[in-house]
Amino acid sequence: MLVLGIETSCDETAVGVVEDRFTLRSNVIASQVELHAPYGGVVPEVAARAHLEALLPTIDRALVEAGCGLSDVDAVAVTSGPGLIGALLVGVSAAKGLALAHDKPLIGVNHLRAHVEVAQLEHGELEPPLAALVVSGGHTSIVALGEDGRFRQLGATIDDAAGEAFDKIARFLGLGYPGGPEIDRLARQGDPHAIAFPRAMRADPGYDVSLSGLKTAVVRYLRRLEAAGQEPDLADVAASFQEAIVDVQVDKTLRAAADQGLERVVLAGGVAANSRLRARFAEACGQAGLGLLVPSVPLCTDNGAMVAASGANLLAAGHLAPLELGVDPNLPL
């Protein structure tokens, strides 16, 4: 069974093909990073227009790389939410057109679930009970996948998403966009324990997190140095900021796993590409005797293969979407 997956929820026009739920046949991304970089963030209107231009050529490339044609595909899967409404509409409209014209089943995919389920392409069937940390530009949550195959949210950020915090601080430090990879790179030359930034809600019994205070603390620290006429060590700032985010995510996720009897941890979403987050989870899960499933970096950030993988699961379970499929910018997990 071949599933074509279309992803246009944010700033990547991405298409992938997955065979029999677990085999990646192709994964093509037309990135819009350069278009949005001058604005320091994604401009929704610009994103929607760019998707419109890039989508059909990206579908063609993904099919060529997969060595198949549209007639060979068994279903067309598309992200229907959450995301930017105009951006989502481009993908969903195209998917409907393809499904109708080629008489293929249509499948509506949840972007957040897809970030988690992409792990099956490299790690095989995701065996519950497991905890997934979903950390992206728009989301930060800890979810549990139960024996019943359902995802349950255990906790989430009460303010900024982790990726949003990375991007905002990077902009403040004068680094490029998107900020996450820039901070990751710079932090490698810094001392993660140089500056004691706050770890809000770390000791709270629940699994919610708060990241906006950390952002404010970094800004205040830099302004204080500036007022005193001192030069900050930006690598130390980046490393210490990153460590504060990572500390909280590791603590909360491992505690959720221990409390809820979850046996494995999946890291998902763009921030799961962060090298320090990956290293610290590897260490902590090793010590706690938990399995750790981490997708390779290109499968962490937005991509079409994740939509195809999640779509293949839905196809296998018989969950098809009607041609009236709508988009939902706030679709919950």
Beta bridge partners of 179: none
Q: Residues near 209 by Cβ (< 8 Å), separated by ≥ 6?
A: 140, 155, 156, 157, 158, 200, 201, 248, 249, 252
CB of 261 to ligand KG4, least distance (A): 28
Q: Is 208 annotated as belonging to a binding site?
A: no
- In the sheet that 75-81 helps form, which strands lie side by side, from edge to edge? 23-31, 12-19, 2-7, 75-81, 106-110
Q: What does the DSSP 8-state code read for residue 45?
A: H
Number of residues that bind ligand KG4 (CB under 6 A): 19
303 binds Zn ion per the rule CB under 5 A = no
Q: Is 115 annotated as belonging to a binding site?
A: yes
**DSSP assignments along 128-148, one per residue:** SSEEEEEE-SS-EEEEEE-TT
Tell me the C-alpha distance between 13 and 197, whole Å.
36
164 binds Zn ion per the rule CB under 5 A = no
**Are the C-beta atoms of residues 48 and 86 closer than 8 Å to each other?**
yes
Residue from 136, 240, 303, 310 in contact with Zn ion (CB under 5 A): 136
At 27, the amino acid letter reads: N
- R_g of the chain, CA atoms, integer Å: 20
Instruction: Give the distance, in angstroms, between the CA of residue 74 and the centroid of all CA atoms in the same chain.
Output: 26
Interface mask (CB under 5 A) for Zn ion, residues 85-124, using x and -? ----------------------------------------
Residue from 155, 190, 270, 311 in contact with ligand KG4 (CB under 6 A): 270
Interface mask (CB under 6 A) for ligand KG4, residues 111-150, using x and -? -------------------------xxx------------
Of residues 283 through 302, those in contact with ligand KG4 by CB under 6 A are 301-302
Of residues 225 through 264, those in contact with ligand KG4 by CB under 6 A are none
Three-state DSSP state, 220: helix
Interface mask (CB under 6 A) for ligand KG4, residues 169-208, using x and -? ---------xxxx--x------------------------
Tell me the C-alpha distance between 140 and 215, whole Å.
15
Known binding residues for Fe cation: 111, 115, 302
Could you tell me which residues are annotated as the binding site?
111, 115, 134-138, 167, 180, 184, 274, 302
List interacting residues with ligand KG4 (CB under 6 A). Answer: 10, 136-138, 163, 166-167, 178-181, 184, 269-271, 273-274, 301-302
